[in-house]
A and B are shown apart, each in its own frame.
Chain A
Amino acid sequence: MSMRDPVNETKERSAERADTGDVRVEVTGKKRKWLVMAIVTLLAAGIVSYFASPHPDGLERVAEDHGFLEKANEPSWTAWIPDYEIPGISSPMLKVGLAGVIGAAILFGVLYAISRPLSAKPREEGRRE
């Protein structure tokens, strides 16, 4: 883990953004806040997901009301975790919660693997003063 001066880093990155004409928030670099986000993500995926509303969502509601829900094709294949429930686990809370945690972990891994090779290396020379 690097020990950079957060103020300088912030200035530098906002300067880079001004160059590209981007307008967006300066995303925090505070580790504590990202740890909270990670915990919230795990709790949401692993526990709260079990209590999600089972009712049809907006599109399914519209499809039902207008009589085209039956147009949805049954898939001809079976995914690893269909409908966010791990097959073969009897506990309803565990099969949903585990599916959520696995999904969140896959997303973290996939996006890390995609974005890391695309990112610019930190300029070490400029920082050693």
Chain B
Amino acid sequence: MHIPDGFLDAKACIATGALGAGAIAYGLKKTKMTLARPEVPKIALIGAFIFAAQMLNFPVSGATSGHFLGGALASILFGPAVGVVIMSAVLIVQALVFQDGGLTVLGANIFCTGVIGSYVGYGVYRLGLTLLHGKATKVVTFLAAWCSIVAASCAVAVLLAWSGTFPLNVALTAMAGWHSLIGIGEGLVTALVVAYLAERNVTFDSASASKEASTV
């Protein structure tokens, strides 16, 4: 769901441009604090995989297609900050080299599929692990990826409505409707890849919980 130039008005482009730039700056800063060297080639390869997978449009219903986005995959594997960095790199390369997604709406695309996609995917995954005590991780991963797509599509709908393109309720229904179907593909690919690359799930223990609570 790469937004092309012309769909959003100036205020939406500027607001999302600022949000997108801020999110990238925060993502890079957070990445610097947590990244271990052996993860570098893995992050680069997942970025290449996400780019490749995004090219594979699959038929959804009638004359419509959908494609993988990857925010949930990147953030589940490496955390949401790295997820934003990976997704932003993919979106910037797609816009500059492949003319996929407009330049004035680059911030909007980074905000919707990069930031919302990564953080919603990661948030649902984390919530699912906590609620189910680390059980049924494949189902949790599927749901996390599905939610990330639907949330990203709703964010696009809100931006379209805010730009006066069409009314919010119509935008939300249409975007979430199609993307709840596309999200099934996203969920399956994400669950498959995470299950393949995960050695085990690091569950949310009380020690790190209290530590985090004290630092907030």
Known contacts A25-B198, A106-B93: A58-B66 contact under CB 8 Å:
yes
Known contacts A71-B6, A103-B97: A115-B85 contact under CB 8 Å:
yes
Interface string of B66-100 (1 = CB under 8 A from A): 11000000011111001001100110011011111
Q: How near does chain A come to B7, taking the closest CB pair, in angstroms? A: 6
Interface string of B21-55 (1 = CB under 8 A from A): 00000001001111111111111111111111101
Q: How near does chain B come to A12, taking the closest CB pair, in angstroms? A: 9
Chain B: number of interface residues, binned into ranges = 35 or more
Q: Are B41 and A34 in contact (CB under 8 A)?
A: yes
Q: In the complex, A29 Cα to B23 Cα: how many Å? A: 29
Partner pick for B1 among A10, A58, A120, CB 8 A cutoff: A58
| Chain A residue at smallest Cβ distance from B59 | A53
Chain A residues within 8 Å of chain B by Cβ, number: 75
Q: In the complex, A36 Cα to B42 Cα: how many Å? A: 12
Q: Are B202 and A20 in contact (CB under 8 A)?
A: no
Check A83 for interface membership: any CB of B closer than 8 A. Answer: yes
B-facing residues in A17-50 (Cβ within 8 Å): 17-29, 33-34, 36-38, 40-42, 44-45, 48-49
Q: How near does chain B come to A18, taking the closest CB pair, in angstroms? A: 5
The SS class assigned to the B binding surface is helix
Q: How near does chain A come to B123, taking the closest CB pair, in angstroms? A: 10
B-facing residues in A83-128 (Cβ within 8 Å): 83-84, 99-100, 103-112, 114-116, 118-122
Q: How near does chain A come to B121, taking the closest CB pair, in angstroms? A: 11
Partner pick for B52 among A49, A65, A120, CB 8 A cutoff: A49
Chain B contacts for A58, CB-based, 8 A: 1, 60, 64, 66, 153, 175, 178-179, 182
Q: How near does chain A come to B183, taking the closest CB pair, in angstroms? A: 10
Q: In the complex, A120 Cα to B35 Cα: how many Å? A: 6
Q: Are A75 and B99 in contact (CB under 8 A)?
A: yes
Check B207 for interface membership: any CB of A closer than 8 A. Answer: yes
Known contacts A28-B198, A72-B6, A120-B35: A40-B49 contact under CB 8 Å:
yes
Check B209 for interface membership: any CB of A closer than 8 A. Answer: yes
Chain A contacts for B44, CB-based, 8 A: 107-109, 111-112, 115
Chain B contacts for A61, CB-based, 8 A: 63-64, 178
Show the binding face of B for A, using Cβ within 8 Å: 1-7, 28, 31-53, 55-60, 63-67, 75-79, 82, 85-86, 89-90, 93-94, 96-100, 102-103, 122, 125-126, 129-130, 153, 156, 165-166, 170-171, 174-175, 178-179, 182, 193-194, 196-205, 207-209, 211-212, 215
Show the binding face of A for B, using Cβ within 8 Å: 9-10, 13-14, 16-29, 33-34, 36-38, 40-42, 44-45, 48-49, 52-59, 61-63, 65-66, 68, 71-73, 75, 78-84, 99-100, 103-112, 114-116, 118-122
What 5 new A-B contacts, CB under 8 Å, besides A21-B211, A115-B31?
A18-B205, A53-B58, A61-B178, A103-B94, A120-B37
A selection of 6 A-B contacts at a CB cut-off of 8 Å is A19-B208, A29-B199, A33-B197, A52-B58, A56-B65, A111-B85
